[in-house]
Protein backbone atom coordinates (compact mmCIF):
# COMPACT_ATOMS: atom_id res chain seq x y z
CA UNK A 1 0.00 0.00 0.00
CA UNK A 2 1.35 3.43 -0.92
CA UNK A 3 2.52 5.93 1.70
CA UNK A 4 -0.25 8.30 0.59
CA UNK A 5 -3.01 5.91 1.64
CA UNK A 6 -1.18 5.08 4.89
CA UNK A 7 -1.13 8.79 5.74
CA UNK A 8 -4.81 9.12 4.84
CA UNK A 9 -5.64 6.20 7.14
CA UNK A 10 -3.64 7.74 9.97
CA UNK A 11 -5.36 11.13 9.57
CA UNK A 12 -8.82 9.55 9.34
CA UNK A 13 -8.12 7.60 12.55
CA UNK A 14 -7.43 10.71 14.66
CA UNK A 15 -3.68 10.39 14.37
CA UNK A 16 -3.33 6.83 15.71
CA UNK A 17 -0.10 5.34 14.45
CA UNK A 18 0.01 1.95 12.76
CA UNK A 19 1.12 -1.10 14.67
CA UNK A 20 4.37 -2.91 14.17
CA UNK A 21 3.18 -4.73 11.07
CA UNK A 22 1.81 -1.78 9.12
CA UNK A 23 -1.96 -1.40 9.50
CA UNK A 24 -2.51 -4.16 12.03
CA UNK A 25 -3.82 -1.64 14.57
CA UNK A 26 -6.83 -0.77 12.34
CA UNK A 27 -9.89 -2.86 11.61
CA UNK A 28 -10.60 -3.99 8.06
CA UNK A 29 -13.75 -1.82 7.99
CA UNK A 30 -11.84 1.34 8.90
CA UNK A 31 -9.26 0.70 6.20
CA UNK A 32 -11.89 -0.07 3.53
CA UNK A 33 -14.03 2.97 4.32
CA UNK A 34 -11.04 5.30 4.45
CA UNK A 35 -9.61 4.07 1.16
CA UNK A 36 -13.02 4.32 -0.53
CA UNK A 37 -13.53 7.91 0.65
CA UNK A 38 -10.02 8.88 -0.42
CA UNK A 39 -10.53 7.34 -3.88
CA UNK A 40 -13.88 9.09 -4.39
CA UNK A 41 -12.37 12.44 -3.37
CA UNK A 42 -9.54 11.99 -5.86
CA UNK A 43 -11.96 11.04 -8.67
CA UNK A 44 -14.21 14.02 -7.87
CA UNK A 45 -11.41 16.57 -7.98
CA UNK A 46 -9.92 14.95 -11.10
CA UNK A 47 -13.22 15.42 -12.91
CA UNK A 48 -13.47 19.01 -11.72
CA UNK A 49 -10.04 19.75 -13.13
CA UNK A 50 -10.85 17.93 -16.39
CA UNK A 51 -14.13 19.84 -16.85
CA UNK A 52 -12.38 23.11 -16.08
CA UNK A 53 -9.73 22.44 -18.73
CA UNK A 54 -12.30 21.38 -21.35
CA UNK A 55 -14.46 24.41 -20.58
CA UNK A 56 -11.53 26.77 -21.04
CA UNK A 57 -10.57 25.16 -24.37
CA UNK A 58 -14.11 25.15 -25.79
CA UNK A 59 -15.47 28.36 -27.35
CA UNK A 60 -18.20 30.04 -25.30
CA UNK A 61 -21.82 29.29 -26.15
CA UNK A 62 -24.13 32.09 -27.34
CA UNK A 63 -26.11 34.03 -24.73
CA UNK A 64 -29.59 32.95 -23.77
CA UNK A 65 -32.25 33.17 -21.09
CA UNK A 66 -31.51 31.56 -17.71
CA UNK A 67 -32.76 28.01 -17.33
CA UNK A 68 -33.21 25.30 -14.72
CA UNK A 69 -30.90 22.36 -14.01
CA UNK A 70 -31.75 19.25 -16.08
CA UNK A 71 -34.94 20.78 -17.54
CA UNK A 72 -33.27 23.86 -19.03
CA UNK A 73 -35.87 26.17 -20.61
CA UNK A 74 -38.63 23.60 -21.01
CA UNK A 75 -40.89 25.19 -18.41
CA UNK A 76 -40.46 28.70 -19.81
CA UNK A 77 -41.32 28.04 -23.45
CA UNK A 78 -44.76 29.33 -24.34
CA UNK A 79 -47.20 27.55 -26.68
CA UNK A 80 -46.25 29.87 -29.53
CA UNK A 81 -42.60 28.90 -29.84
CA UNK A 82 -41.84 31.43 -32.60
CA UNK A 83 -43.07 34.36 -30.51
CA UNK A 84 -40.98 33.15 -27.57
CA UNK A 85 -37.84 32.88 -29.72
CA UNK A 86 -38.49 36.30 -31.29
CA UNK A 87 -38.80 37.89 -27.85
CA UNK A 88 -35.59 36.25 -26.60
CA UNK A 89 -33.73 37.30 -29.76
CA UNK A 90 -34.64 40.93 -29.11
CA UNK A 91 -33.19 40.58 -25.62
CA UNK A 92 -30.07 38.47 -26.21
CA UNK A 93 -29.23 39.09 -29.88
CA UNK A 94 -29.53 37.30 -33.25
CA UNK A 95 -27.78 34.14 -31.97
CA UNK A 96 -29.22 32.64 -28.81
CA UNK A 97 -28.90 29.39 -26.91
CA UNK A 98 -31.80 27.32 -25.59
CA UNK A 99 -31.40 24.17 -23.53
CA UNK A 100 -34.25 21.68 -23.74
CA UNK A 101 -33.50 18.85 -21.36
CA UNK A 102 -30.12 17.39 -22.30
CA UNK A 103 -30.07 19.07 -25.72
CA UNK A 104 -28.58 22.50 -26.40
CA UNK A 105 -30.01 24.36 -29.41
CA UNK A 106 -28.52 27.41 -31.13
CA UNK A 107 -31.20 29.56 -32.78
CA UNK A 108 -30.46 32.08 -35.53
CA UNK A 109 -32.84 34.97 -36.17
CA UNK A 110 -30.70 37.03 -38.57
CA UNK A 111 -31.10 36.37 -42.34
CA UNK A 112 -27.48 37.29 -43.05
CA UNK A 113 -26.14 34.92 -40.39
CA UNK A 114 -28.53 32.20 -41.54
CA UNK A 115 -27.13 32.59 -45.08
CA UNK A 116 -23.59 32.10 -43.79
CA UNK A 117 -24.59 28.94 -41.94
CA UNK A 118 -26.92 27.37 -44.50
CA UNK A 119 -25.09 28.38 -47.69
CA UNK A 120 -21.59 29.79 -47.24
CA UNK A 121 -20.46 27.32 -44.55
CA UNK A 122 -23.05 24.59 -44.98
CA UNK A 123 -20.47 21.77 -44.87
CA UNK A 124 -19.47 22.74 -41.33
CA UNK A 125 -23.06 22.77 -40.07
CA UNK A 126 -24.33 19.89 -42.20
CA UNK A 127 -24.60 17.29 -39.44
CA UNK A 128 -27.59 17.23 -37.14
CA UNK A 129 -29.06 15.12 -34.37
CA UNK A 130 -31.34 12.45 -35.78
CA UNK A 131 -34.75 12.36 -34.04
CA UNK A 132 -35.63 9.08 -32.35
CA UNK A 133 -38.46 8.52 -34.84
CA UNK A 134 -36.09 9.06 -37.79
CA UNK A 135 -33.59 6.60 -36.31
CA UNK A 136 -36.33 3.97 -36.39
CA UNK A 137 -37.78 4.99 -39.75
CA UNK A 138 -34.62 5.61 -41.80
CA UNK A 139 -32.38 2.67 -40.93
CA UNK A 140 -30.63 4.45 -38.03
CA UNK A 141 -30.41 7.72 -39.98
CA UNK A 142 -28.39 6.28 -42.86
CA UNK A 143 -30.56 7.60 -45.70
CA UNK A 144 -29.62 10.57 -47.86
CA UNK A 145 -31.52 13.05 -45.66
CA UNK A 146 -30.13 12.21 -42.21
CA UNK A 147 -26.76 10.59 -43.00
CA UNK A 148 -23.82 12.54 -41.48
CA UNK A 149 -21.71 14.59 -43.86
CA UNK A 150 -18.80 12.50 -45.06
CA UNK A 151 -17.63 9.97 -47.68
CA UNK A 152 -20.77 7.84 -47.27
CA UNK A 153 -23.10 10.74 -48.01
CA UNK A 154 -20.99 11.89 -50.96
CA UNK A 155 -21.11 8.41 -52.53
CA UNK A 156 -24.87 8.23 -52.02
CA UNK A 157 -25.39 11.62 -53.67
CA UNK A 158 -23.23 10.64 -56.63
CA UNK A 159 -25.23 7.44 -56.99
CA UNK A 160 -28.53 9.35 -57.03
CA UNK A 161 -27.24 11.88 -59.57
CA UNK A 162 -25.72 9.23 -61.84
CA UNK A 163 -28.52 6.64 -61.76
CA UNK A 164 -31.66 8.73 -61.23
CA UNK A 165 -31.17 12.43 -61.96
CA UNK A 166 -28.81 12.18 -64.92
CA UNK A 167 -30.05 13.00 -68.44
CA UNK A 168 -29.61 9.39 -69.51
CA UNK A 169 -31.60 8.10 -66.55
CA UNK A 170 -34.42 10.59 -67.06
CA UNK A 171 -34.57 9.90 -70.80
CA UNK A 172 -34.74 6.15 -70.18
CA UNK A 173 -37.84 6.63 -68.02
CA UNK A 174 -39.53 9.15 -70.32
CA UNK A 175 -42.13 6.72 -71.63
CA UNK A 176 -43.13 5.69 -68.10
CA UNK A 177 -43.69 9.30 -67.06
CA UNK A 178 -45.53 10.09 -70.30
CA UNK A 179 -47.87 7.13 -69.87
CA UNK A 180 -48.76 7.96 -66.26
CA UNK A 181 -49.33 11.67 -67.00
CA UNK A 182 -51.64 10.77 -69.90
CA UNK A 183 -53.50 8.34 -67.65
CA UNK A 184 -54.01 11.08 -65.04
CA UNK A 185 -55.22 13.62 -67.62
CA UNK A 186 -57.66 11.08 -69.04
CA UNK A 187 -58.93 10.31 -65.54
CA UNK A 188 -59.50 14.00 -64.78
CA UNK A 189 -61.26 14.61 -68.12
CA UNK A 190 -63.64 11.80 -67.25
CA UNK A 191 -64.74 13.68 -64.14
CA UNK A 192 -65.79 16.96 -65.75
CA UNK A 193 -68.37 18.67 -63.57
CA UNK A 194 -67.38 16.65 -60.50
CA UNK A 195 -65.22 17.79 -57.58
CA UNK A 196 -61.61 16.59 -57.80
CA UNK A 197 -59.02 16.38 -55.05
CA UNK A 198 -55.94 17.62 -56.89
CA UNK A 199 -53.65 16.77 -53.98
CA UNK A 200 -54.68 13.12 -54.17
CA UNK A 201 -54.43 13.04 -57.97
CA UNK A 202 -50.94 14.53 -57.99
CA UNK A 203 -49.72 12.18 -55.27
CA UNK A 204 -51.15 9.11 -57.01
CA UNK A 205 -49.53 10.21 -60.27
CA UNK A 206 -46.14 10.61 -58.61
CA UNK A 207 -46.49 7.24 -56.88
CA UNK A 208 -47.55 5.55 -60.13
CA UNK A 209 -44.59 7.09 -61.98
CA UNK A 210 -42.22 5.80 -59.29
CA UNK A 211 -43.70 2.30 -59.30
CA UNK A 212 -43.75 2.26 -63.10
CA UNK A 213 -40.07 3.23 -63.25
CA UNK A 214 -39.13 0.54 -60.73
CA UNK A 215 -41.33 -2.42 -61.67
CA UNK A 216 -43.57 -1.42 -64.58
CA UNK A 217 -47.36 -1.12 -64.52
CA UNK A 218 -49.62 1.37 -62.76
CA UNK A 219 -51.78 1.63 -59.68
CA UNK A 220 -55.18 0.41 -60.76
CA UNK A 221 -58.33 -0.69 -58.97
CA UNK A 222 -57.68 -1.80 -55.40
CA UNK A 223 -54.09 -0.60 -55.53
CA UNK A 224 -55.28 2.92 -56.32
CA UNK A 225 -57.21 2.88 -53.04
CA UNK A 226 -54.10 1.63 -51.29
CA UNK A 227 -52.25 4.50 -52.94
CA UNK A 228 -54.50 6.98 -51.15
CA UNK A 229 -53.85 5.20 -47.87
CA UNK A 230 -50.15 5.32 -48.75
CA UNK A 231 -50.43 9.11 -49.03
CA UNK A 232 -52.05 9.42 -45.60
CA UNK A 233 -49.47 7.15 -44.03
CA UNK A 234 -46.56 9.06 -45.59
CA UNK A 235 -47.92 12.34 -44.19
CA UNK A 236 -48.30 10.85 -40.73
CA UNK A 237 -44.93 9.08 -40.99
CA UNK A 238 -43.08 12.30 -41.85
CA UNK A 239 -45.05 14.18 -39.18
CA UNK A 240 -43.70 11.82 -36.52
CA UNK A 241 -40.16 13.05 -37.26
CA UNK A 242 -41.07 16.60 -36.24
CA UNK A 243 -43.38 15.76 -33.36
CA UNK A 244 -42.01 16.84 -29.94
CA UNK A 245 -40.57 13.70 -28.39
CA UNK A 246 -39.34 13.32 -24.83
CA UNK A 247 -36.88 10.69 -26.12
CA UNK A 248 -35.09 13.43 -28.08
CA UNK A 249 -34.90 15.77 -25.09
CA UNK A 250 -33.82 13.09 -22.63
CA UNK A 251 -32.05 10.33 -24.64
CA UNK A 252 -31.78 8.15 -21.53
CA UNK A 253 -35.57 7.66 -21.75
CA UNK A 254 -35.49 6.51 -25.39
CA UNK A 255 -35.76 2.76 -24.61
CA UNK A 256 -39.05 3.44 -22.78
CA UNK A 257 -40.72 5.17 -25.78
CA UNK A 258 -43.05 7.01 -23.38
CA UNK A 259 -45.12 8.66 -26.14
CA UNK A 260 -45.24 5.62 -28.41
CA UNK A 261 -43.79 7.58 -31.34
CA UNK A 262 -41.18 4.95 -32.24
CA UNK A 263 -43.83 2.24 -32.02
CA UNK A 264 -46.03 4.16 -34.48
CA UNK A 265 -43.04 4.60 -36.79
CA UNK A 266 -42.39 0.84 -36.81
CA UNK A 267 -46.04 0.15 -37.67
CA UNK A 268 -45.85 2.53 -40.64
CA UNK A 269 -42.61 0.92 -41.83
CA UNK A 270 -44.23 -2.52 -41.63
CA UNK A 271 -47.19 -1.29 -43.69
CA UNK A 272 -44.89 0.23 -46.34
CA UNK A 273 -43.01 -3.07 -46.65
CA UNK A 274 -46.29 -4.92 -47.12
CA UNK A 275 -47.50 -2.43 -49.73
CA UNK A 276 -44.39 -2.65 -51.90
CA UNK A 277 -44.19 -6.42 -51.52
CA UNK A 278 -47.76 -6.73 -52.82
CA UNK A 279 -46.94 -4.50 -55.81
CA UNK A 280 -43.81 -6.52 -56.62
CA UNK A 281 -45.69 -9.79 -56.26
CA UNK A 282 -48.48 -8.66 -58.59
CA UNK A 283 -46.03 -7.38 -61.21
CA UNK A 284 -44.14 -10.67 -61.06
CA UNK A 285 -47.32 -12.68 -61.61
CA UNK A 286 -48.34 -10.48 -64.55
CA UNK A 287 -44.88 -10.71 -66.07
CA UNK A 288 -44.50 -6.92 -66.04
CA UNK A 289 -41.53 -6.84 -63.72
CA UNK A 290 -37.91 -6.87 -64.82
CA UNK A 291 -36.72 -10.19 -66.16
CA UNK A 292 -33.81 -11.86 -64.44
CA UNK A 293 -31.13 -13.14 -66.75
CA UNK A 294 -30.55 -16.78 -66.01
Bigger pLDDT: 141 or 221? 141
Last residue of a domain, one of 12, 32, 57: 57
Which residue from 73, 56, 55 is spatially nearest to 64, judged by alpha carbons?
A: 73
pLDDT given at position 8: 45
CA distance 41 to 8: 12
Task: List pLDDT tens digits, range 48-91.
Answer: 666 666 555 667 888 988 888 888 888 888 778 888 888 999 99
Quick check: is 256 in a domain?
A: yes
Task: List pLDDT tens digits, range 231-277.
Answer: 889 999 999 998 889 999 998 899 999 999 999 999 999 999 998 88
Above 60 in pLDDT, residue 195?
A: yes
Quick check: is 190 in a domain?
A: yes
Least confident of 24-38, 205-219, 227-241: 24-38
Quick check: is 224 in a domain?
A: yes
Least confident of 46-60, 142-156, 208-222: 46-60
User: Mean of the pLDDT values across residues 92-116?
Assistant: 91
Quick check: is 185 in a domain?
A: yes
pLDDT given at position 129: 85
Above 50 in pLDDT, residue 286?
A: yes
Kindly indicate the confidence band of residue 31, based on its pLDDT and cuts at 50, 70 and 90: low
Quick check: is 275 in a domain?
A: yes
DSSP-assigned beta bridge partners for residue 108: 95
User: Mean of the pLDDT values across residues 24-41?
Assistant: 67
Q: What percent of the chain has pLDDT over 70?
A: 79
Q: Which residues fall within 8 angstroms of residue 248, CB to CB, at 6 or more apart?
A: 103, 129, 131, 132
pLDDT given at position 80: 81
Above 80 in pLDDT, residue 172?
A: yes
pLDDT given at position 187: 86
Q: Are 5 and 13 a contacting pair, CB within 8 Å?
A: no
Quick check: is 182 in a domain?
A: yes
Quick check: is 125 in a domain?
A: no
* Three-class secondary structure of residue 194 per DSSP: coil
Quick check: is 252 in a domain?
A: yes
pLDDT given at position 261: 94
pLDDT given at position 291: 46
Q: Structural domain of residue 50, as residue ranges?
A: 3-57
Crossing angle (nearest 10°) for helices 198-215 and 261-286 = 60
pLDDT given at position 43: 78
CA atoms within 13 A on the CB side of 289: 13
Above 60 in pLDDT, residue 6?
A: no
Last residue of a domain, one of 57, 74, 92: 57
Q: How many domains does the chain have?
A: 2
pLDDT given at position 155: 92
Amino acid sequence: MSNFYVKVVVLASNGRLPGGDGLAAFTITEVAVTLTVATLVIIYFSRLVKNFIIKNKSPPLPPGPPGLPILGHLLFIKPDFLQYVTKQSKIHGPIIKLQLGRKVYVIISSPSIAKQILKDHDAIFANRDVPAAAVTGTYAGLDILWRPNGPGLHKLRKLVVREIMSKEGLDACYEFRRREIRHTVKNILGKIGLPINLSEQIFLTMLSVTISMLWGGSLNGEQAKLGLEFKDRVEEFVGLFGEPNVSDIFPVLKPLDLQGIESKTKKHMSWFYGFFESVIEQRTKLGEGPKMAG
